[in-house]
Amino acid sequence: MTATAATKQAATKTAAVTNPADKYTPFPPVKLTDRQWPSRVLDKAPIWCSVDLRDGNQALIEPMGPDRKRAMFDLLLRMGFQEIEVGFPAASQTDFDFCREIIDGGKIPDGVTIQVLTQAREELIRRTFEGIKGSKRAIVHLYNSTSELQRRVVFGMDRQGIIDIAVAGTKLIKQLADETPDTEIVLQYSPESFTGTELDFAVEICEAVMEIWQPTPERKIILNLPSTVEMSMPNVHADQIEWFCKTMKNRESAIISLHPHNDRGTGVAAAELGLLAGADRVEGTLFGNGERTGNVDVVTLALNMFTQGVDPGLSVNDIAEIVRVSEYCTQLPVHPRHPYAGELVFTAFSGSHQDAINKGLKALSKSNSGKWEVPYLPIDPQDLGRSYEAVIRINSQSGKGGIAYVLEKDYGLQIPRKLQIEFSKIVQRVADETGKELSPTDIYETFKAEYLDAESPLALIEHATEARGPNSGARVVNAVVTRDGKTQTIKGSGKGPIDAFVDALRQGCGVDLHVLDYREHAIGEGEDAQACSYFEVKTSDGRTLFGVGMDADIVTASLRALVSAANRAAR
Ligand SMILES: CC(=O)SCCNC(=O)CCNC(=O)[C@H](O)C(C)(C)COP(=O)(O)OP(=O)(O)OC[C@H]1O[C@@H](n2cnc3c(N)ncnc32)[C@H](O)[C@@H]1OP(=O)(O)O
Ligand SMILES: CC(C)C(=O)C(=O)O
């Protein structure tokens, strides 16, 4: 049958199924009694191994060239990875050359072990050893596929045939390791497609490999149990790992490693539960690059631990740098909502979130507990080298709290609560009209236009205050204002300059304002300090509204605020 005919036949078969979901077989539960993992707590970091330069690289549209490989390797070293799978040297010249470059160039620091992948084929294993010649220590990672499906459709072999491949590969690696005494060879064996492999067979093949390699507690083998394809819920994965750890012989001579992929979107959860289930090590990539939906994201895993108070043993405190290098190397973007790393993860647009964050940050600044407690922010952005700057951003979903936060943080304006309510409606209107996010500058300009630049119909030109008479305590204000462009002098008296100016406005301009509330604060310090005054007033027709004024002189700021209120009342 031709490929086209086969495709058509498959399509016809599919169409005949009434419920499309019937095509799929549910993953069988693991028969595990007395499971322990649900009651355990993750309280220490695993051994980390980065597979960015191999599994991540093999999945790229454009695999990394030497410069990108080097940039990734250097980043992984800076982050503190002590085990790095640097490639599949027998598969590509670039990978081979990269091994040679870092070994011959002395680029592998003490304490760091490189890992190389190979299939269980003689010529590939021999070439792999040429690739790692001269390194102090190397993990040779041997794999062959063991799942029932792959045995049947890819290899056409029974269980014994598959065991023979693994055993032959191990024997050759043992022989070549003996012939390379200057390099400490660690064997890692992966029953690839472990998640689709019957558990008893996975144990059987791993034990067959161990039988050849003869690991000891001092010279452990790494058994890597990959979720080559993530096929089940993470609790089932954990059951598989716990079952494997409990059943295998000589557990103390093996490091059990996880290699989750993310087909169901639960790679991180699978890794975490797999660690609870007894695994010691995790292989993954930065931000989860890798085949299909990717490998498990080690950055997220590490930061998940960090936020539980566990030292992850990886430096993830300059997340922007990790994103930058990773995007350069993979030529793939990190999603804006990617956990911890995405551009938008420390940003709140919605009003109630902004309000709670704002209050949380204020409460935190007064607390001595040393504990991070801010609603909606599970981690302190500063721990990732990020700042609060982007925490609150304004669009049509934003509320008064966020707007007040931006004005205070960027412009030092501490606007009273009722003014926040008034101004947020104005911002809302602008945001709705534009349909766009408003930058802090946009918000300030809107505030300025609405309150500070409100100089029409009235504008204050100058003023002078004096005592009304000896011992009276009352003040007289003489002010020059323009009204509809015409200059005039107004005069009033009262208990203080504000009261007197309100009187002057009433008498000279026919503007009747009743002051309900008054606040002022300084912006900045020293000679450059400005006073900012806020007046809540009631107009003659019963409306309440605000006026705001700013000036180096406190009295002038207050009179400007009254003019601002008068002008807004006149609109
Ligand atoms: C889950 C994973 O990510 S595993 C890693 C996968 N990574 C890669 O494949 C990237 C690099 N790979 C390559 O460049 C190539 O596959 C190479 C160079 C390694 C090998 O290439 P080729 O020899 O041309 O063939 P190909 O990969 O198609 O090999 C398939 C053959 O190898 C056999 N084979 C596949 N995997 C293994 C294995 N782990 N051990 C032994 N034999 C294997 C297959 O049965 C098949 O045999 P057949 O030709 O007799 O049918
Ligand atoms: C080689 C193995 C570990 C692998 O990459 C996988 O199974 O995904």
**CATH code assigned at 129:** 3.20.20.70
- Total structural domains within the chain: 3
Instruction: Kindly give, in sequence order, each residue whose CB lies less than 8 Å from that of residue 481, ignoring residues fewer than 6 positions away.
Output: 458, 459, 460, 461, 487, 488, 489, 490, 508, 509, 563
443 plus 469 within the same structural domain: no
Measured from the CB, is residue 188 less than 6 Å from ligand 2?
A: no
pLDDT band at residue 8, thresholds of 50, 70 and 90? low
55 is in an annotated binding site: yes
List all residues 6 or more positions away from 364 whose beta carbon is below 8 Å from its beta carbon.
372, 373, 374
Q: Are residues 99 and 125 in the same domain?
A: yes
Q: Are residues 468 and 355 in the same domain?
A: no
Question: 139-149, pLDDT tens digit by residue?
Answer: 999 999 999 99
Report yes or no on 124 lying in a domain. Answer: yes
Instruction: Say whether both 223 and 247 belong to one domain.
Output: yes
In a domain, 40, yes or no: no
Q: How far apart are CA 166 and CA 358, in angstroms?
A: 59
Nearest to 48 by CA among 396, 331, 284, 294: 284
Ligand with smallest separation from the Cα of 95: 1
290: number of Cβ within 10 Å: 29
Pocket of ligand 1 (CB under 6 A): 55, 58, 88, 91, 119-121, 143-144, 155, 165, 192, 228, 291
Is residue 32 assigned to a domain?
no
pLDDT of residue 455: 85
Q: Is the ipTM of this complex over 0.90?
A: yes
CB 457 within 8 A of CB 568: no
Last residue of a domain, one of 267, 297, 314: 314
Ligand 2 nearest atom to the CA of residue 226, by list position: 7
* Ligand 2 centroid from CA 422, angstroms: 59
31 found inside a domain: no
| Residue 41 resides in a domain | no
- Residue 472 in domain: yes
Sheet bearing 530-539, strands edge to edge: 513-523, 530-539, 544-551
CATH of the domain at 375: 1.10.1220.20
Q: How far is the centre of ligand 1, averaged over its atoms, from the C-alpha of 293 (Å)? A: 21
d(CA 502, CA 477): 10
Q: Is the same domain home to 85 and 119? A: yes
Give me the mean pLDDT over the 460-471 stretch.
86
Same domain, 382 and 361: yes
Say yes or no: 533 and 509 in one domain. yes
The CATH number linked to 537 is 3.30.160.270
Average pLDDT over residues 330-359: 91
Same domain, 485 and 436: no
Whether residue 433 is found in the same domain as residue 464: no
Rounded to an integer, what distance in angstroms lies between the CA atom of residue 44 and that of residue 37?
A: 15
535 pairs with which residues across the strands? 518, 547
Structure confidence by residue, pLDDT tens digits, 235-262: 999 999 999 999 999 999 999 999 999 9
Do 463 and 445 reside in the same domain of the chain?
no
Asked whether residue 339 is domain-assigned, the answer is: no
Ligand 1 center–CA 95 separation, angstroms: 16
Angle at 228 between CA 223 and CA 229, to 5 degrees: 145
Q: Whose CA is nearest to atom 2 of ligand 2?
A: 192
Digit-coded pLDDT (tens) for 29-40: 999 999 999 999
- Do 526 and 404 share a domain, yes or no? no
Q: Are residues 243 and 359 in the same domain?
A: no
Query: Domain of 112?
Result: 46-314
